[in-house]
Amino acid sequence: MADNMNHSSTEPAETIEPLRYLSKVEVAAIETELLRDYRFGQQQLIEIWGHACAIAITKAFPLTSLSKKQPTVLVVCGPDQNGSIGLVCARHLRIFEYEPTIYYPKRTPNTIHQDFTVQCEKMDIPFLSYLPTEVQLINDAYNLVIDAILGPETDHTDVKEPYAGILVTLKQVKIPIASVDMPSGWDVDKVTSDGINPDVLISLMAPKRCATSFTGKHYLAGRFLPYDIQKKYDLNLPEFPGTDCLIEL
């Protein structure tokens, strides 16, 4: 009887399913599952992501390609998880011999974020006390800006100060911007035509829906997702080369 159930007709060749672009709800669901069921720690995930972001920056902007005499990078950090990823990214960039400067206007009273801050301070990475409103000063001082401001968890319809002002400034800078996970101020779920316009996007875990039409250099970073999560959410991640923690899409 079982034999009758075999398909003797030729099976279609296995098709490669396209990479999934995640909605805001899916991002939150995956993160919850990683923390609650897979027992990843927030500190651990932020370290993995921040390190991968630093590697992406070295690929997109190698030390030898920088136009300024000093390998300066401005890292703008938001109040939540994205901001801490920015702090870790800055720390690893320092190890890779870049000269990061951090602008972190609102420090959250949360031990994890505070610890990542101290790690940077102890590495003698300078912190700016304010962001120059004169955009030319930013263009002149840095080779690029890393936007680690707002992540998928932020309500893009109600961006508060000081971040609204920062985004106005970043819209005007002429040096390249690299955004961590998603461009700050964009709607996770929709293609945005206003807002900041990064040259590089470093998607974490999987790209977000808003990245569908992104035309700059796009990296997928953070190679650690358990296979069951990848399957459950049909992520169809590409194959990462060798032991690389990221891949250019």
Binding site for its own copies (CB under 8 A): 37-41, 43-44, 47-48, 51, 54-55, 58, 91-92, 95-96, 112, 114-115, 118-119, 122-124, 223-224, 226-228, 242-243
Nearest approach, Cβ of residue 96 and its own copies (Å) = 6
- Cα 84 to chain centroid distance, Å, stands at 11
In the complex with its own copies, which residue's Cβ is closer, 112 or 135? 112
Nearest approach, Cβ of residue 245 and its own copies (Å): 9
Nearest CB to its own copies, comparing residues 127 and 173: 127
Least separation in angstroms between residue 38's CB and its own copies is 5
Pairing mode of beta strands 246-248, 217-221: antiparallel
In the complex, least distance from residue 59 CB atom to its own copies, rounded to whole angstroms: 9
Q: State the minimum distance, in angstroms, from the CB of residue 32 to its own copies.
A: 14
CB of 115 to its own copies, least distance (A): 4
Choose between 27 and 125: whose C-beta lies nearer to its own copies: 125
Q: Which is nearer to its own copies, 69 or 122 (CB)?
A: 122
Nearer to its own copies, 122 or 174 (CB): 122
Of the pair 101, 119, the CB lying nearest its own copies is at 119
